[in-house]
Structure 1
Amino acid sequence: MRRDDRNGVALLVLDRPKSRNALSDAMLAALSEALAAIAQDRSVRAVVLAAEGPVFCAGHDLKEMTAHRADPDRGRAYFADLLGRCAGVMQAIVRLPQPVIAAVQGTATAAGCQLVASCDLAIAAADARFCTPGVSIGLFCSTPMVALSRAVASKHAMEMLLTGDLIGAEDALRFGLINRIVAPGAERDEALALAGRIADRSAVAIRFGKAAFYRQRELPLAEAYQYAAEVMTENMLSRDAEEGIGAFVEKRTPRWEDR
């Protein structure tokens, strides 16, 4: 995986196209390391996650997994550790202070679909396809289900999980898995442009908002409103909110201090 920063946007690129950008042990470690570094990097205001080659991400590296069936415990400890590490990466995306935008080409399958669902936003090429195909090989996509079921409506998620069928970009848009569709080859530029617009906003407001979005949706309605009011009060006391409201009243461009 490689990283390229430009104008406040970090571009992370999965670059193992010969292995269909599978989430191998090495790829998961690289993603985890990159996300941890970005979380501490205040110069990064948005992230784009892209991939090289005809496949965005084929999910876990099944050859790597199968090799551990020769372990004394038939791979139980390795499988549990692998799935825990993968879940850690997905949660790191959600917890990241900066928004993460997936730029999807080709196919995103199994944990690759999970990766897209875990991102805050997603731009897909018109010929992109998505699926959770585990049932076709006797392995229900239980961990991809966690992200998928939080990104799309229950019945759409269940249909994808129970059939393992590929869905096209139009259905992915209709289901709510992606935000928009662009011409093949334009997905990365579109994602970078969207990230650039986000990067122009107050980083402190974005940090408040992203964290609050994911926390409040897991709360009962009254608790969600109480929590959101507390967050908005703290946000209101930030320097950027003072500057932004002042700039609006004075009809000028705000000068963000990100505090």
Structure 2
Amino acid sequence: MSISATDLISVTDLGEGVLRLELQDPSTRNSLSMAMLDLLAVKLEEVAANSQCKVVLLSAAGPVFCAGHNLKEVQGNLGDQAAQLALFNKCSQVMQQLVHLPQPVIASVQGVATAAGCQLVASCDLAVAEESARFATPGVNIGLFCSTPMVALTRNVSRKAAMEMLLTGEMISAARALEIGLINRVATEGQQDEVALELARLIASKSAKTLAIGKEAFYKQLEMPLAEAYDYTSEVMAENLTSLDAREGISAFVEKRKPQWKNA
């Protein structure tokens, strides 16, 4: 039975400021079809406007996190370059939405994350994977170099590690993904959601205002020359100090008490 477009992603409030977005199309290995990407874009817009959400946990139903684009959909549009471009542009938009989202996003990965699925992991701020999880950018094996996944991959791992994945198309283990910086933590089998949620709740215990300021500054300064980055982040810190939560946090530290965040 086919899944309706509106059922492709579930949204669950896990409490304590954590919201789960779960890909719900295991029959296609949670492929990033145009329908999936369209809905994910909408859900991310809703999350960005949700003042109660401080951290997003991105997971997937079934044995596979995400196998990338739906190749049957891609094959069906082989004669339509405009349709192909629309698909890759939509995917690129969603990956940038993840980066620009005010809330930190943690991927919880099981099974495999390949091609655009690996791109999805790399585009999240943090990632936790079960120890048997595997990752790959295998486009080279079918004559379609993973050029768009390469953008996120090369911004997260070293050049040589990225080139090896891109040129060989081979799977790498969760341990190797941890070693090269593609993921943050490896969980015991089947425990990736619990580990990711623990990490999410730790982050959600901070000021939402501070998290948003920090995430935005992190990505902006990465693309700047050293001197410009220091000038920019100095301005960010000075402005950050005018926030209610910075004042509360400093007062709480001096007074040796737990801060009471206003998220402002």
TM range, smaller chain: over 0.9
SS at match of 1:184: coil
Residue of structure 1 equivalent to 2:3: none
Tell me if 1:238 matches 2:243.
yes
Give the counterpart of 2:82 among 77, 82, 106: 77
Give the counterpart of 2:42 among 22, 33, 53: 33
Aligned ranges for residues 127-146 of structure 1 at < 5 Å?
127-146=132-151
Give % identity: 56
Number of residues of Structure 1 aligned to a counterpart in Structure 2: 255
SS at match of 2:77: helix
Alpha-carbon shift at residue 240 of structure 1 (Å): 0.2
Aligned ranges for residues 109-258 of structure 1 at < 5 Å?
109-258=114-263
Alpha-carbon shift at residue 6 of structure 1 (Å): 2.0
Distance in 2, matches of 1:52 and 1:43, equals 24
Alpha-carbon shift at residue 77 of structure 1 (Å): 0.2
Residue 35 of structure 1 aligns with an amino acid whose one-letter code is L
Moved over 4 A (4+): none
Distance in 2, matches of 1:61 and 1:184, equals 27
Cα deviation digits, residues 81-131 of structure 1 (max 9, x gap)? 110000000000000000000000000000000000000000000000000
Distance in 2, matches of 1:234 and 1:38, equals 25
- TM-score after normalising by structure 1: 0.98
Distance in 1, matches of 2:26 and 2:159, equals 32
Distance in 2, matches of 1:233 and 1:258, equals 17
Name structure 1 gaps, 5 residues minimum: none
CA RMSD, aligned part only?
0.6
When structure 1 is superposed on structure 2, of 187-196 and 134-143 the one drifting more is 187-196
Distance in 2, matches of 1:6 and 1:44, equals 10
Residue 57 of structure 2 aligns with an amino acid whose one-letter code is V
Residue 222 of structure 2 aligns with an amino acid whose one-letter code is R
Tell me if 1:99 matches 2:107.
no
Give the counterpart of 1:60 among 57, 63, 69: 69
SS at match of 2:258: coil
SS at match of 1:97: coil
Distance in 2, matches of 1:210 and 1:92, equals 13
Distance in 2, matches of 1:93 and 1:189, equals 22
Residue 133 of structure 1 aligns with an amino acid whose one-letter code is P
Alpha-carbon shift at residue 162 of structure 1 (Å): 0.3
Cα deviation digits, residues 48-74 of structure 1 (max 9, x gap)? 0001111100000010111112xxxx2
Residue 184 of structure 1 aligns with an amino acid whose one-letter code is E
Residue 3 of structure 1 aligns with an amino acid whose one-letter code is V
Distance in 2, matches of 1:20 and 1:58, equals 6
SS at match of 2:113: strand
Name structure 2 gaps, 5 residues minimum: 1-8
Residue 5 of structure 1 aligns with an amino acid whose one-letter code is D
